[in-house]
Amino acid sequence: MIFSIRNMTPWSRDYFVYLSSTPERSRWGVEVLGAGFTRIAPAQPYPVAGHPSHHHFDYEKGRILEALQILFVTGGRGSLETRSRGRQKILPGSVVFLLPGEWHRYRPDPKSGWTEHWVELDGWVVRSLIEAGTFTSRQCLFHAPATSGIEEHFESLHPLVSGRRAYSIPDLAHLAHRLLGCGAEFPNAGKSLSRLSGIVRRAEEQLGAPPVERMDLEALARKLGVGYSYFRRIFREQTGLSPWQYLIKSRLARARRILASSEDSLSEIAEAVGFGSAFHFSAAFKKAHHVSPDTWRKQFKKKPASR
């Protein structure tokens, strides 16, 4: 889903809010722990007062956060300083990904002030992206292209987090994922990814693609330029799953979507997602979910719709 800024009223209310982690939000992989929007006028003291002690900072001392913070500056200019990169300029359109554990400080130029959007995210998806090198301390400052969509996502996020619009937990998780996705697509993002991470990422794309009846994993390894034993080892190291386990998980996810939205038979679903037969599909599904596909479909359709 892409939000169009042209169809939205630009957010203009200063606010900040901090949210506690909950089991329900954490199971979506990424949690919004805080967010805010602030217009800093020229010569206005910075940072603004009122933030809790664990987030307010003295510029002279800097600070270290425990979660990922994304700072997006849409007007004005200023500076950023981190332990890993030293001092850098912040200009209109700058986006900063501040990693947990990284000492940093930033502030607007007193002559210009700035307008800032920010969000703080945590969860296993965030940590996995950091561990894979998608976001790094050495490359934390980007310029957002006009087509990136990041401003639109912040404009959609602010009414929800500030309490001005009702939302469901999946709504908020979806926007958090979109913001992470924007950052991963910025020019120069992930340049520090190792060759191994690149191999695994390309393999994931192949394994998650529309299925063929028989996936030849050894041929896939050759296509990626590595031996099969080596490929299987690095894939497991970086994803926690073997290539075959990843393939089955991907096919079952596609099967659940079909089960939830259609009345297709198990044979039709098995063929659509790449299993050789309804028997093999049912066996894999029951092993993963502890119920048959038919039982899962009945249980799913009894559930009340989320707000």
Domain boundaries, the chain: 5-185, 195-302
Backbone angles phi, psi at 141, to 5 degrees: -115, 125
Give yes or no for residue 237 having a pLDDT over 80: no
Angle between helices 293-302 and 278-289 (to 10 degrees): 60
For the segment 271-279, the average pLDDT, to the nearest whole number, is: 89
Of residues 244 and 185, more confidence is placed in: 244
For the segment 69-97, the average pLDDT, to the nearest whole number, is: 93
pTM above 0.75, yes or no: no
Report pLDDT digits (tens) over 91-141.
Answer: 998 999 999 999 999 999 999 999 999 999 999 999 988 888 888 888 889
- Sequence-ordered list of residues with C-beta below 8 angstroms from that of 105, at least 6 positions apart, any chain: 57, 59, 61, 62, 63, 80, 81
DSSP characters for 183-245? HHHSTTTTTT--HHHHHHHHHHHHHTSSP-SS--HHHHHHHTTS-HHHHHHHHHHHHSS-HHH
Nearest-angstrom CA–CA distance, 15 and 37 = 6
Query: ∠ CA 248-249-253 to the nearest 5 degrees?
Result: 115
For the segment 68-86, the average pLDDT, to the nearest whole number, is: 94
State the pLDDT at residue 72: 95
**Cβ pair 203, 243 in contact under 8 A:** yes
Superfamily of domain 195-302: Homeodomain-like (1.10.10.60)
Of residues 111 and 166, more confidence is placed in: 111
Mean pLDDT, the chain, whole residue set: 85
Give yes or no for residue 70 having a pLDDT over 50: yes
Nearest-angstrom CA–CA distance, 250 and 273 = 9
Element containing residue 78 per DSSP (H, E): strand 78-82
Specify the range with the lowest mean pLDDT, choosing from 132-141, 174-183, 184-193: 184-193
- Sequence-ordered list of residues with C-beta below 8 angstroms from that of 117, at least 6 positions apart, any chain: 11, 36, 37, 71, 72, 73, 74, 151, 154, 158
Give yes or no for residue 288 having a pLDDT over 80: yes
Torsion of CA 5, 10, 14, 18, to 10 degrees: -30
State the pLDDT at residue 10: 67
Specify the range with the lowest mean pLDDT, choosing from 12-21, 34-43, 200-209, 276-285: 200-209
**Cβ pair 296, 257 in contact under 8 A:** no
Give yes or no for residue 194 having a pLDDT over 60: no
Question: 5-185 in CATH: which number?
Answer: 2.60.120.280
